[in-house]
């Protein structure tokens, strides 16, 4: 695999996604016409959202919703609130969702939404008014059979409740399946909060089998201690993994014998930071990434593994809990080092998988216990891991290219079988 991206463009995640798409499409021998169909968003909308602020002023916010593909089912993807949201960003994230849903073979397409605003500068009332007006403006695009939003950057279960209520008031009946990531009282699913971190653990357990490793002898470094990294740490520690380091934005802690994750979580809740945790050594957060370990889980931000540092990694398995933590140029270095990469569109797909379960439960009006949610999640994650690694072996490619090949093949097959309506 040779990247087509220059060093100057290396940290552009959208160019990286496009390069990986092209590599997979080349391997699958997808023709130019089908590539155009697979790349082009099916539908997109830009809306202007007038909102009266608490001080009486009128302000107009801009929002977007992009449905990249609805070939395999309703669009699926989060809504983010941030001052730097752009239409190009939303387009790229929607395409990422298409491939993520396809690689775990759930019946969704890809979508994404965003509103240009700074939630830190807005009151709860202002956020609610923005959310409800944004929902009203995109209401013809969304729905349980059309497009199902979810939380993303700076949105949460409360925002989903506002969207669900607004949609329900317009259609004149309670429609819980219009969004996922809702409060439990409004049709949320058990196991949803833990799902992304749990999925990371599940695919890591499958990778360990290839190395003949047991959890108790597996040293893990996790970058990020939020919902994904923190949950992965907690669950993996409970399964006997030795979590030797946690890296956060303001520092890192290390214990060669394994950190007490429950105690670290309690300490962080009390102090607001992992720094100063008494049962660990403090480390430079930049150097902790390069500790000798069996598993490295980047679960924070994008572009943390680049051409500048990939050759310094000392892990055997890289499980990408975050979206886009590795650049496409770094992929080549990791391949040379024979690092076993579990790519993001597989590794962190536990969240969208349990979102699918939530949608299914809402439509049935019948809710599963957590044991059933987790067992079905394991079935999906293990089956998807086997499909990706099987493709990698069959086509003599790395796991990331294989994951994109699985996804593109499934979406292209659906389009061919449906035909082009004219």
User: Alpha helices, DSSP H only, in 178-282?
Assistant: 195-211, 227-238, 261-271
Are the CB atoms for 350 and 199 separated by under 8 Å?
yes
Q: CB-based contacts of 63: which residues, under 8 Å, 6+ apart?
A: 46, 47, 48, 49, 113, 114, 115, 116, 134, 137, 138
Name the packing angle between helices 87-103 and 370-395 (round to 10°): 90
CA 76 – CA 180 distance, rounded (Å): 9
Q: CB-based contacts of 393: which residues, under 8 Å, 6+ apart?
A: none
CA 305 – CA 296 distance, rounded (Å): 11
Strands 295-298 and 317-319: parallel
Beta strands in 13-55 (DSSP E): 43-52
Query: What residues act catalytically?
Result: 112
SS3 sequence, 294-326? CEEEECCCCCCECCCCHHHCCCCEEECCCCCCE
Are the CB atoms for 140 and 43 separated by under 8 Å?
no
User: Which residues partner with 151 through β-bridges?
Assistant: 79
Q: CB-based contacts of 279: which residues, under 8 Å, 6+ apart?
A: 255, 259, 260, 263
CA 402 from centre of chain: 18
Are the CB atoms for 103 and 72 separated by under 8 Å?
no
């Amino acid at each position: 695999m040779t990247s087509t991206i220059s060093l100057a463009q290396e940290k552009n995640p959208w160019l990286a996604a496009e390069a990986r798409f092209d590599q997979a499409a080349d391997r699958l021998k997808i023709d130019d016409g089908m590539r155009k169909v697979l790349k082009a968003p099916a539908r997109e909308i830009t809306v202007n959202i007038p909102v009266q602020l608490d001080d009486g002023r009128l302000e107009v916010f801009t929002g977007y919703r992009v449905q990249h593909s609805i070939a395999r089912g309703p669009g699926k993807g989060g809504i983010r609130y941030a001052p730097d949201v752009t239409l190009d960003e939303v387009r790229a994230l929607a395409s990422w969702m298409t491939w993520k849903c396809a690689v775990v073979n759930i019946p969704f397409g890809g979508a994404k939404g965003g509103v240009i605003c700074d939630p830190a500068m807005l009151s709860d009332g202002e956020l609610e008014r923005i959310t409800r007006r944004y929902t009203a403006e995109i209401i013809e695009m969304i729905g349980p059979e059309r497009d199902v939003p979810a939380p993303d950057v700076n949105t949460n279960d409360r925002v989903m409740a506002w969207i669900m209520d607004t949609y329900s008031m317009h259609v004149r009946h309670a429609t819980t399946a219009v969004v996922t990531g809702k409060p439990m009282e409004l049709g949320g699913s058990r196991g949803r909060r833990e799902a992304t971190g749990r999925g990371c653990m599940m695919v890591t357990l499958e990778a360990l089998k290839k190395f003949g490793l047991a959890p108790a002898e597996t040293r893990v470094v996790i970058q990020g201690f939020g919902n994904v990294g923190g949950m992965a740490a907690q669950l993996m520690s409970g399964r006997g993994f030795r979590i030797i380091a946690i890296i956060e934005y303001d520092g890192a802690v290390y214990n060669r014998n394994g950190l007490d994750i429950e105690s670290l979580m309690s300490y962080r809740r009390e102090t607001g930071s992992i720094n100063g945790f008494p049962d660990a050594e403090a480390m430079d957060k930049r150097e902790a990434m390069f500790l000798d370990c069996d598993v490295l889980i980047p679960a924070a931000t994008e572009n943390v593994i680049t051409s500048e540092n990939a050759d310094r990694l000392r892990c055997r398995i890289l499980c990408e809990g975050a979206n886009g933590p590795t650049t496409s140029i770094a992929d080549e270095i990791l391949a040379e080092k024979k690092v076993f990469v579990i790519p993001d569109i597989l590794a962190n797909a536990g969240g969208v998988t349990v979102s699918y379960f939530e949608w299914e439960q809402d439509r049935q009006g019948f809710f599963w216990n957590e044991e059933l949610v987790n067992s079905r999640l394991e079935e999906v994650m293990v089956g998807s891991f086997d499909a990706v690694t099987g493709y990698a072996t069959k086509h003599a490619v790395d796991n990331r290219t294989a994951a994109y090949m699985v996804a593109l093949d499934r979406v292209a097959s659906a389009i061919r079988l449906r035909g082009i309506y004219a």
